[in-house]
Amino acid sequence: MNPASAPIPVELHAYDVLVHRHRDPHRPGFALAEVILGGQDGLVNVLGVILGVAAATQDTHIVLAAGLAATFAESVSMGAVSYTSNQAEHALYESEREREYRHLHLVPAVEREEIRSIYQQKGFQGPLLDQIVDTITADKDVWVGVMMAEEHQLIPIQRGRAARSALIVGMSAIVGSLIPLGPFFVLPVGTSMVVSMVLAAVSLFVVGAYKAKATIGPVGRSGLEMALIGTLSALAGYVVGLLFRVPAG
């Protein structure tokens, strides 16, 4: 049953339910981290590439070629990194999970004491602690699940997460990359560089502010930090381009 549609115990006040479900609900699982990772990385890297190429050549066609090449190479690379890192996390979880099952079979007394120690540290004592330990260790799957979460700080990777994460990161990288690249399709190189920097800074500020609003932290500060870090990183590409400027001929 969906918790949101579950019957409400009569002893709960209607206002409490309103606050919990509507005014301050728990946020469902969402891909904010993947979107920010792909979008920010694509935007900053492509901005650095096109600023560097523009500073070096002042040729719109070359800038666009370099920017588009970086866009798609970046999206594929970021998607692949996301996929392989999720696969690695899944492999680590499964490896440790199998190890815990072996330990339960070989040294159950030791594993039982580890459960007791974990909940002692949480403040449980006496008969209540004994009851918790007995309940958890009565089911091997529950026992292993608790050990994975509490001892190893590992959570299971959802089936299909690696592919979904790779797709989200890759598409976000493309979208982020096109933001600074767009002005070069319609404006002269010099003007495009300025407009591209402004668009990138504003976009990064908005993303940083939204991240703070969706999670925690001061909105303005988060937005400003992301904008400054991103634009300063991209300016490194511009400086390199100036060092290799092609003389006008």
Residue 171 forms part of a structural domain: yes
Query: Cα–Cα distances in Å, from 145 out to 48, 151, 188?
Result: 45, 10, 59
Residue 210 forms part of a structural domain: yes
Rounded distance between C-alpha atoms, residue 173 and residue 11, angstroms: 49
DSSP helix, strand, coil percent of the chain (3-state; round to 5) = 80, 0, 20
Which SS3 state, helix, strand or coil, does residue 189 take?
helix
Tracing tokens 């609900």 back to the chain, one arrives at 25
Per-residue pLDDT at 50: 93
How many independent structural domains does the chain possess? Answer: 1
Per-residue pLDDT at 6: 53
Rounded distance between C-alpha atoms, residue 221 and residue 215, angstroms: 14
Angle between helices 140-150 and 108-121 (to 10 degrees): 50
140: closest CA among 167, 101, 95, 178?
A: 101
User: Structure pTM?
Assistant: 0.74
Residue 185 forms part of a structural domain: yes
Residue 7 forms part of a structural domain: no
Give the chain's mean pLDDT: 85
Residue 232 forms part of a structural domain: yes
The torsion angles phi and psi of 204, rounded to 5 degrees, stand at -65, -40
Residue 218 forms part of a structural domain: yes
Rounded distance between C-alpha atoms, residue 35 and residue 215, angstroms: 14
Per-residue pLDDT at 1: 44
Residue 12 forms part of a structural domain: no
- In order along its 249 residues, the chain shows pLDDT tens digits of 444 455 555 555 666 655 556 555 555 545 778 888 888 889 999 999 999 999 898 889 999 999 999 999 989 999 999 999 989 988 999 999 999 999 999 999 999 999 999 999 999 999 999 999 999 999 999 999 999 999 888 888 777 888 899 999 999 999 999 999 999 999 999 899 999 999 999 998 988 888 777 777 788 888 898 888 888 888 888 888 888 887 655
Per-residue pLDDT at 36: 85
Residue range(s) defining the domain that contains residue 57? 30-243
Per-residue pLDDT at 227: 87
Structural contact between residues 54 and 63, judged by C-beta atoms closer than 8 angstroms: yes
Residue 79 forms part of a structural domain: yes
